[in-house]
Amino acid sequence: MPSIQLRTPIPGPRSQELAKRRIAAVPRGIYLGTPMYVARAEGAILEDVDGNRFLDFAGGIGCLNVGHRAPRVVAAIHEQVDRHMHTCFQVSPYESYVALAEKLNQLTPGKFAKKTFFVNSGAEAVENAIKIARAYTGRPSVICFEDAFHGRTFMAMSLTSKTHPYKAGFEPFPGDVYRVPFAYCYRCAFSLTYPSCEVHCARHLEDVFRRVVAAESVAAVIVEPVLGEGGFIVPPQEYFGILAEICRHHNILLIADEVQTGFGRTGALFASERYGIEPDILVTAKSLGGGLPLAGITGRAEIMDAPGSGALGGTFGGNPVACAAALAVIEEFERGKLSDRANALGERFHQRARSWQSRWPIIGDVRGLGGMQAIELVRESREPAEEETKQVIKLCYEHGLLVLSAGSYGNVIRMLMPLSMTDEQLEEGLAVLEKALQSVCEKSHHIAAQPA
């Protein structure tokens, strides 16, 4: 499925039948993004059970940076399936787990000795990072950020910011979690402006230690280098340097949640590299497995060895098929220059989005790092345009393009396309997005569309 002529999908009998079965069999808590049911996928294209084809700007929520069914990944999976599929690494270990741990120890930022282990999901990796930080420091508290997303298990929910639909009704959450404002320059919590603010939001942490929680009680600060679900919020370049220095000063561990930013998305293998920081613990998932469920926790060797034998692990963590896929993903990055591709795709998107911004005031902010790009949609006085965002995404779907929203206010459209996407595919997708934005702008009575 190399190229695509985007067309309006026509729901056929098979997807309609599946929709009925889904409603009867699956709880409504499992959100329904689109009504299509996938039959096949390749590169940046999905085909549904009725033969409709879609261009994918969502990548299974950022899990397919190497593309759907990347040939090297598929071959590695087949090869592993023909040998063995599951033994449980803690019962009968195997080489691919160790080799992948070695690779991540080598590739994550920092030249110090590191160790890595594997679990099944981003949330599980976050949980484990906190367990290890508490075991190593002997301290209880964790600092996290407004608009952060770390997953749906209990500790991960506690660290997550957005209330609906993620947290409401599931209380109480694990305690000793303290939330501070992030570097969301477009909606600065301190009503300051960069650069004259001198990155006050990072320095504010010192104030938190006086007014909220004592520094000597804090085990870790956990942070996404660029907020993912929170709306692709990109801090100023010096932000993480300041944060890391404050953590170091108080012997607090810095945990980078690179579940969404990792594996080339921001134009480097890890976004931490873009900020020149070396986190004590770095959490990966999503695109690590090339489409299979796998997550990693990598950290300084002495920190990772704090929990005793048997204190970490899980039945399926680091499954051999997933490890084989991940080794192929890394090979793909080493050969394919996919991080450079992220920068090229991101740059094209950014330029196009800036031109939209100059035409339509609904585009309040255009931001991103490498291929992790987004637009924030607003009405007057930056009021979040959530309804309009939904309309744009629906219109895109109706013209064969899959895109995702993000943000605490649901008013951000984010780019998570496979980095293997061709320029032609990108242009085709951007043309659809442009038409959808134009149509919503022209219809909206809040916004008078300006001539181009």
Ligand X SMILES: Cc1ncc(COP(=O)(O)O)c(C=O)c1O
With CB under 6 A as the contact rule, which of the stretches 79-87, 198-206, 252-260, 327-335 interacts with ligand X? Answer: 252-260
Residue number with the smallest Cβ distance to ligand X: 122
Among 145, 149, 356, 409, binds ligand X (CB under 6 A): 149
Nearer to ligand X, 257 or 428 (CB): 257
Asked if residues 199 and 238 have their Cβ atoms less than 8 Å apart, the reply is: yes
- Parallel, antiparallel or unpaired: strands 218-223 and 253-257: parallel
| 216: Cβ contacts below 8 Å, ≥ 6 apart | 139, 250
How far apart (Å, rounded) are the C-alpha atoms in residues 142 and 125?
Answer: 15
What string marks each residue from 48 to 87 as x (binds ligand X by CB under 6 A) or -?
-------------x--------------------------
Report in angstroms how near the CB of residue 105 gets to ligand X at its nearest. 21
Report in angstroms how near the CB of residue 257 gets to ligand X at its nearest. 5
How far does Cα 171 stand from its chain's mean position?
25
Asked if residues 4 and 428 have their Cβ atoms less than 8 Å apart, the reply is: yes
**Exposure letters 269-288 (e unless 16+ CB within 10 A, then b):** bbbbbbbebbbbbbbbbbbb
Nearer to ligand X, 228 or 296 (CB): 228
Asked if residues 64 and 290 have their Cβ atoms less than 8 Å apart, the reply is: yes
CA dihedral sign of residues 260, 115, 269, 249: positive
H-only helix segments in 194-249: 200-211, 239-249
Nearer to ligand X, 109 or 122 (CB): 122
Nearer to ligand X, 149 or 356 (CB): 149
Beta strands in 149-191 (DSSP E): 177-180
Nearer to ligand X, 146 or 224 (CB): 224
What string marks each residue from 347 to 376 as x (binds ligand X by CB under 6 A) or -?
------------------------------
How far does Cα 414 stand from its chain's mean position?
10
- Of 375-434, binders to ligand X (CB under 6 A) are none
Report in angstroms how near the CB of residue 361 gets to ligand X at its nearest. 30
Query: For residue 65, which of 96, 38, 39, 44 has the smallest C-alpha distance?
Result: 44
Q: Which residue has the tokens 């932000």?
A: 239
Report in angstroms how near the CB of residue 94 gets to ligand X at its nearest. 23
Nearer to ligand X, 147 or 224 (CB): 224
DSSP per residue, 299-342? EEHHHHT-S-TTSS--SSTT-HHHHHHHHHHHHHHHHH-HHHHH
Nearer to ligand X, 147 or 332 (CB): 147
What string marks each residue from 4 to 43 as x (binds ligand X by CB under 6 A) or -?
----------------------------------------
Sequence letter at residue 159: L
How far apart (Å, rounded) are the C-alpha atoms in residues 296 and 118?
Answer: 5
Binding residues with ligand X: total (CB under 6 A): 15
- Of 266-295, binders to ligand X (CB under 6 A) are 285
- Of 176-205, binders to ligand X (CB under 6 A) are none
Report in angstroms how near the CB of residue 273 gets to ligand X at its nearest. 17
Nearer to ligand X, 122 or 346 (CB): 122
Binding status of residue 257 toward ligand X by CB under 6 A = yes
Nearer to ligand X, 228 or 317 (CB): 228
Among 158, 260, 411, 425, binds ligand X (CB under 6 A): 260
Report in angstroms how near the CB of residue 125 gets to ligand X at its nearest. 7
DSSP per residue, 84-130? -S---TTTS--HHHHHHHHHHHHHSS-SS-EEEEEESSHHHHHHHHH
| 195: Cβ contacts below 8 Å, ≥ 6 apart | 236
- Of 210-229, binders to ligand X (CB under 6 A) are 224, 228-229
Asked if residues 109 and 270 have their Cβ atoms less than 8 Å apart, the reply is: yes
What string marks each residue from 108 to 147 as x (binds ligand X by CB under 6 A) or -?
-------------xxx--x---------------------
Report in angstroms how near the CB of residue 225 gets to ligand X at its nearest. 9
DSSP per residue, 391-413? HHHHHHHHTTEE-EEESTTS-EE
Among 151, 225, 370, 400, binds ligand X (CB under 6 A): 151
Nearer to ligand X, 321 or 432 (CB): 321
Binding site residues, ligand X, CB under 6 A: 61, 121-123, 126, 149-151, 224, 228-229, 257, 259-260, 285
